[in-house]
A and B are shown apart, each in its own frame.
Chain A
């Protein structure tokens, strides 16, 4: 029963997003350097953190799948990666808008943070053709899990490499040696991060519920020996 608790979770997500937006625009002070444009920070950075953590979670679910052989974990891994790719699109677009406002360019190719995120995103974009190129469901799930684990391990390594790189244009916001964020900004950021994390969890749960309903429907159709509807030939993971 993947839908259990979806309603309170959705309400909590809406409340937390409303709180995050209110704090962003009415509580957090204007940044001394960037002014109003810095408000994009409270959307862009939490989205990026949640997307990257989601990729890692996809790898962790894939480990559980390979260890147990339970197809449920493969579906979890697929949905976690799927949701993180969607968040990744939002990160790239909002990042581009922020870059244009701050730096005068939509994209800066010699900036390690941007390019590394694009590499991670493109790597996960290959997950879909890789997965759907395999028709046998067991092989598909196994190979997709291996991909998710390898790519999931690459994400923190990539993050550490970027942190070690010398960057001129992307400030280290949380570097305590250089001051870090003031209290109000940090509080607003943490609420925004919690809101995005809750949104990710809610959407993952919603997607799993839809997949579960679809799986149950196919089971029912098989049990009744009913004719199959003309649908997609794509072999997507299911949960039952």
Chain B
């Protein structure tokens, strides 16, 4: 079997370096993609939270205004 790595001559550094760099870059890219996806999720949560806060404030304002209108009505 020609695939046996043991005893095979080591690759010269200029050739081995690109494989080693490739492996570590792939790992880094995967990690960055994951972090980017998490950042998008975080942005969505923040946006929804802002929408909810606006909704809650609008409702609170409407509830405050409603009794005053009732009192001021003749």
Give residues 1-37 of B contacting A (CB, 8 Å): 1, 3-8, 10-11, 13, 16-17, 19-20, 22-24, 26-27, 30, 34
A31 and B10: CB pair below 8 A? yes
**Interface residues of chain A: helix, strand, loop or mixed (majority):** helix
Tell me the complex Cα distance, A24–B12, Å: 18
Query: Chain A contacts of B38 at CB under 8 A?
Result: 206-207, 210
Of A85-93, A129-137, A154-162, the one contacting chain B is A85-93
Q: Tell me if A94 and B55 are in contact (CB < 8 A).
A: no
Given known A43-B23, A98-B19, A206-B38, contact A86–B4 (CB-CB < 8 A): no
Q: Are A221 and B23 in contact (CB under 8 A)?
A: no
**Assuming the A-B contacts A203-B34, A206-B38, are A229 and B51 also in contact, with contact meaning beta carbons closer than 8 angstroms in the complex?**
yes
Contacts of A169 in B (CB 8 A): 1, 3-5
Contacts of A118 in B (CB 8 A): none
Which residues does A use to contact B, with CB under 8 Å? 30-31, 33-37, 39-40, 43-44, 47, 86, 89-90, 93-94, 97-98, 100-105, 108, 168-169, 171, 203, 206-207, 210, 213-214, 217, 220-221, 224, 226-227, 229
